[in-house]
């Protein structure tokens, strides 16, 4: 059976725009009638997703699959690294965790993952007409060349031509592109078939002398200068985006009934190892809410609603909450009547204590929780990863009974409810989450909890500022953003040449 052609996008550095370019190219090729699969052999991110079979993968490849109009699956990201400390990470291979390793251990271990990478890539090449491959970091990290499973080694396995992308917004793009080419060995340099400059603002003609030099020095064609696309709302790969111009994905022109401009002030605790930070994108996109991420107790002073999000390291981030004063301030705000919602790890933190007898989440031991929910969590080696949907069991001030929720679970730990807590949701897998008797503190393991219009409507009703339903047509808004990205890339890239480089007729 003939394997599908491949094309690989590599960058001169992390955050050069590789993920968005792959998403945009996937949308263009899908528009042109091709079935396209994204692929990134190794992804380091705390923003993950559970596919239909319960396998865990990076959300960047989920976004790229959405852009291509295909169902995401773990073969699109066979190796996922989820940092737990500054020097260690949980390693997920083809959707399942295989252990937590420090940097040195993983450096020695990862060359053995090439079989898994090759298997996943081959399956995609059999099932699709084109596979678009995203590199990781830079191919010029010469200290990793011998154990590379993310850049040129993958290009070699896939026999993929490479397009090298530089980010001009950071400055030094000519040095970055030329320097990267200089550091590649002759065989890898030959794989590079074209250069792209990304995130340009201003008059393109000013670049012309530099572009001529770049093509001459690198002996590679420049395939385009992609502009910085203002206001593009496509989900970011990782929480570095929280330091930029917001992360809301779904812009909306919905207006509150009655025209009242008051917004519900939602303050999300920015944990050191915040995971699945996009859980709050729906809140940020809805005009009824003013969403801000806070790192200091003073940031909660004006909160109408406090959200404690997910984390890859519940125990370590719970210690951070106590040491920073945020825990005491959350408790104080709750006692004053401010509602508090926890998602996944944040839900675990709201309980009386978190026990880690096996050292699954870090060091073995027990740590005191915030005590806002009558629950206890015990970490166990098994990890829950699955998609789920459910309904709110009983009416509470914050949630109407029967409110529908759909999302996915990715967590380690089993939570036991005490007599002063009631289950929040009924799901196909049983009960999920907990709610305090007064209904003003609740938590759930479901990522995507706020994506439900009914959840947003219930919250806004509680705060006295209802919106007219439906609130958000997320699917239409996402499709609009992918189409907008594709239009910009068609204008700025030589797609005819890119198709020829990829061997696509």
Which residue, 249, 247, 436, is CA-closest to 342? 436
Among 268-282, 389-403, 467-481, the least confident range: 467-481
Q: Is 218 one of the catalytic residues?
A: no
Mean pLDDT of the chain: 90
- For residue range 427-440, what is the model confidence (pLDDT) as tens digits? 988 999 999 999 99
- Res 145 pLDDT > 80: no
Distance of alpha carbon 230 from alpha carbon 249, whole angstroms? 13
Residues 235 and 281 sit within 8 Å (Cβ to Cβ): yes
- For residue range 445-464, what is the model confidence (pLDDT) as tens digits? 999 999 988 999 899 999 98
Tokens of 405: 């929720």
Q: Is 280 one of the catalytic residues?
A: no
How much of the chain, in percent, has pLDDT values that exceed 70?
93
In which residue are the tokens 């010469």 written? 142
Residues 278 and 449 sit within 8 Å (Cβ to Cβ): no
Let me know how long the chain is.
Answer: 505
Contacts of 273 (CB under 8 A, 6+ apart): 46, 83, 84, 311, 312, 313, 316, 317
- For residue range 302-320, what is the model confidence (pLDDT) as tens digits? 999 999 999 988 999 999 9
Catalytic residue among 218, 280, 286, 344: 344
Structural domains of the chain sorted by starting position, each given as residue range(s) with its CATH number in brackets: 6-43+58-72+113-233+479-502 (3.40.50.300), 253-471 (3.40.50.880)
């Amino acid at each position: 059976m003939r394997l599908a052609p491949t094309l690989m996008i590599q960058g001169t550095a992390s955050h050069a725009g590789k993920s968005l370019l792959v998403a945009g190219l996937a949308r263009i090729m899908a528009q042109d009638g091709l079935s396209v699969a994204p692929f990134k052999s190794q992804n380091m991110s705390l923003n993950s997703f559970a596919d239909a079979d319960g396998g865990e993968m990076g959300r960047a490849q989920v976004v790229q699959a959405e852009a291509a109009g295909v169902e995401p699956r773990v073969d699109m990201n066979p190796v996922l690294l989820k940092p737990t400390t500054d020097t260690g990470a949980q390693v997920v291979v083809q959707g399942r965790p295989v252990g937590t390793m420090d940097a040195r251990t993983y450096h020695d271990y990862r060359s053995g993952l090439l079989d898994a990478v090759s298997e996943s890539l081959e399956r995609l090449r059999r099932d699709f007409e084109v596979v678009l491959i995203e590199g990781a970091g830079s191919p010029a990290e010469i200290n990793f060349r011998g154990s590379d499973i993310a850049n040129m080694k993958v290009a070699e396995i896939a026999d993929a031509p490479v397009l090298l992308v530089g980010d001009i917004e950071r400055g030094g793009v000519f040095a970055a592109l030329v320097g990267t080419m200089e550091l590649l060995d002759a065989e890898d340099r030959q794989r590079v078939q074209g250069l792209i400059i990304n995130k340009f603002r201003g008059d393109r003609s000013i670049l012309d002398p530099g572009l001529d030099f770049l093509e001459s020095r690198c002996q590679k064609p420049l395939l385009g200068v992609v502009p910085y696309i203002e206001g593009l709302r496509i989900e970011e790969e990782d929480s570095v985006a929280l330091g930029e111009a917001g992360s809301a994905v779904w812009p909306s022109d919905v207006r509150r009934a009655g025209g009242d401009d008051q917004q519900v002030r939602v303050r999300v605790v920015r944990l050191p190892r915040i995971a699945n930070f996009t859980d709050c994108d729906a809140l940020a996109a809805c005009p009824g809410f003013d969403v801000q991420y806070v790192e200091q107790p003073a940031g909660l002073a004006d909160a109408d609603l406090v959200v404690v999000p997910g984390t890859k390291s519940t125990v370590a981030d719970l210690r951070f909450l106590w040491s920073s004063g945020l825990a005491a301030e959350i408790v104080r705000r709750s006692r004053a009547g401010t509602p508090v919602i926890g998602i996944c790890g944040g839900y675990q933190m709201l309980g009386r204590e978190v026990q880690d007898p096996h050292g699954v989440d870090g060091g073995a031991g027990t740590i005191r929780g915030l005590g806002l929910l009558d629950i206890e969590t015990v970490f166990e080696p098994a990890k829950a990863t699955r998609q789920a949907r459910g309904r709110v069991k009983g009416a509470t001030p914050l949630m109407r009974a029967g409110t529908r929720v759909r999302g996915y679970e990715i967590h380690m730990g089993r939570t036991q409810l005490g007599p002063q807590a009631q289950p929040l949701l009924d799901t196909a897998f049983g009960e999920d989450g907990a709610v305090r008797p007064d209904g003003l503190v609740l938590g759930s393991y479901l990522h995507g909890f706020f994506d439900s219009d009914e959840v947003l409507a219930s919250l806004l009703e509680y705060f006295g500022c209802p919106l007219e339903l439906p609130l958000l047509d997320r699917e239409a808004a996402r499709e609009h953003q992918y189409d907008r990205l594709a239009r910009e890339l068609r204008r700025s890239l030589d797609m005819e040449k890119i198709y020829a480089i990829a061997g696509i007729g």
